[in-house]
Chain A
Amino acid sequence: MTEYTYPIIFGVVIGTIARLLMLRTDYRQYPTYLHGKLIHVSLGFIAASLGAVAVPAIMELEFTAVTFLTVAATQFREVRNMERNTLTEVDEFELVPRGNTYIEGIAISFESRNYIVIFTAFIGTLFYIVWNVWFAIAGTIICFLLSKVLQSGSTLKDIVDIEHSELTFEGAGLYVDNIYIMNIGLPERQEEILRYGMGFILKPKDMNTITTIANLGQRQAILHDVSVSLGVFRDSGTPALTPLIKRDLDDGRIGVFILPQVREVEKARKIIGAVPVLENAIRMPSKSRTHNKEVN
């Protein structure tokens, strides 16, 4: 037992707890299985150990020891690759795939959460050694709160207005409002689509949003989330029954055509509103200097 034993144990424990708190299984159903969770809790434990041990290393003036944090960085980049590969493999067999942009977003958050764990363990151990256990607990709570804030990005309802709209056929062309979706030739398919389909119009609230919701990955994420939450009326070998999103080129609105099994307009509207805005889809033309010069 040394003076560092308790602080290190404290750091490792709170780091692992932080990882457990961030490992949620929600409607995205991932990771669902026990083994998947075990992998991430174990990696969280390793991350917590690294963060906790870094403090005594610095206190003992072993500055070179900090270089092992780079090993950790490599290790966690590997986590991101692993998640990306697994999800991409599995995605082929989804009725409505997640799409690469969504997968990349999930993979990135797996990596970044490990860094949050390192940081939490580091702060916990540091405060414990410098002051005492109570300060350490207070610091940890602040870290937990921070990680909660960092974890939740914005959702679609913050950036678009969602309106329900009837599906219509003009000849063989399927329309949501005035947005053309696709050509359906067979009358029986058309009937199925009118019976089971639902249409929504997403109106962007500002200039930045137009580009964001036009992103194909973001659109696929909407379709995937809706299909997961409300079910989907389709099967392999029925490509005519494919949920689709098309764009109005004039004003950047998008027309969402979905085939949910639970046909409740309000619920569907809420679910579309709760779709995360993918980090990789966010564009900020309003931050462009040239653009602002022209506007003002």
Chain B
Amino acid sequence: MKLEKAILAVITTDEKRISGGAPIFICETRKELENVAANIEAITDGIAHALSDDVFIVVKH
């Protein structure tokens, strides 16, 4: 089976809410969260999606 989409990274400021297989990046502030997400988005050619204010995921489409 070929995976069409995959979560490349999870970025959060609330470490209680996450665990699991994808690389996780824990940040202190919302600003830092956005910077990290922007960087990972650029590096991996993915798209940063916001699941909530605390959790972003970078997805390869």
Looking at the assembled complex, report how far the CB atom of A148 sits from the nearest CB atom of chain B, in whole angstroms. 42
Given A239-B61, A240-B41, A184 contacting B34 (CB threshold 8 A):
no
A187 to B49, CA, bound (A): 11
CB contacts under 8 Å to A, within B4-23, are none
Looking at the assembled complex, report how far the CB atom of A242 sits from the nearest CB atom of chain B, in whole angstroms. 8
Looking at the assembled complex, report how far the CB atom of A134 sits from the nearest CB atom of chain B, in whole angstroms. 63
Looking at the assembled complex, report how far the CB atom of A180 sits from the nearest CB atom of chain B, in whole angstroms. 13
Name the B residues within 8 Å of A187 (CB-CB): 34
A163 to B34, CA, bound (A): 34
* A185 CB contact (under 8 Å) in B42, B45, B50, B61: B50
* A237 CB contact (under 8 Å) in B38, B42, B48: B42
A244 to B28, CA, bound (A): 34
Task: Tell whether, in the assembled complex, residue A185 and residue B49 are in contact, meaning their CB atoms are under 8 Å apart.
Answer: yes
A171 to B49, CA, bound (A): 11
Task: Tell whether, in the assembled complex, residue A186 and residue B46 are in contact, meaning their CB atoms are under 8 Å apart.
Answer: no
* A172 CB contact (under 8 Å) in B38, B45, B46, B49: B49
CB contacts under 8 Å to A, within B36-58, are 37-38, 41-42, 45-50, 56-57
Whether A267 is near chain B, meaning CB under 8 Å from some CB there, is no
Interface of B is mostly: mixed
A187 to B57, CA, bound (A): 14
Task: Tell whether, in the assembled complex, residue A186 and residue B45 are in contact, meaning their CB atoms are under 8 Å apart.
Answer: no
Whether A270 is near chain B, meaning CB under 8 Å from some CB there, is no
A188 to B31, CA, bound (A): 12
Whether A24 is near chain B, meaning CB under 8 Å from some CB there, is no
Count of A-B contacts with CB under 8 A? 38
Looking at the assembled complex, report how far the CB atom of B50 sits from the nearest CB atom of chain A, in whole angstroms. 4
Given A188-B38, A237-B42, A240-B41, A183 contacting B61 (CB threshold 8 A):
no
Task: Tell whether, in the assembled complex, residue B45 and residue A183 are in contact, meaning their CB atoms are under 8 Å apart.
Answer: no
Task: Tell whether, in the assembled complex, residue B61 and residue A186 are in contact, meaning their CB atoms are under 8 Å apart.
Answer: no
Task: Tell whether, in the assembled complex, residue B46 and residue A185 are in contact, meaning their CB atoms are under 8 Å apart.
Answer: no
Task: Tell whether, in the assembled complex, residue B42 and residue A186 are in contact, meaning their CB atoms are under 8 Å apart.
Answer: no
CB contacts under 8 Å to B, within A72-116, are none
Whether A189 is near chain B, meaning CB under 8 Å from some CB there, is yes
Q: State the B residues within 8 Å of A (CB).
A: 34, 37-38, 41-42, 45-50, 56-57, 61
Q: State the A residues within 8 Å of B (CB).
A: 171-172, 182-189, 236-240
Between-chain CB contacts (< 8 Å), 30 pairs:
A171-B50, A172-B50, A182-B47, A183-B47, A183-B49, A184-B47, A184-B48, A184-B49, A185-B37, A185-B48, A185-B49, A185-B50, A185-B56, A185-B57, A186-B37, A186-B38, A186-B41, A186-B48, A187-B34, A188-B34, A236-B45, A237-B42, A237-B45, A238-B45, A239-B45, A239-B46, A239-B47, A239-B61, A240-B47, A240-B48
- Known: A183-B47, A184-B50, A185-B56; 20 extra A-B contacts, CB below 8 A, are A171-B50, A172-B49, A172-B50, A182-B47, A184-B47, A184-B49, A185-B37, A185-B48, A185-B49, A185-B57, A186-B37, A186-B41, A188-B38, A236-B45, A237-B42, A239-B45, A239-B47, A239-B61, A240-B41, A240-B48
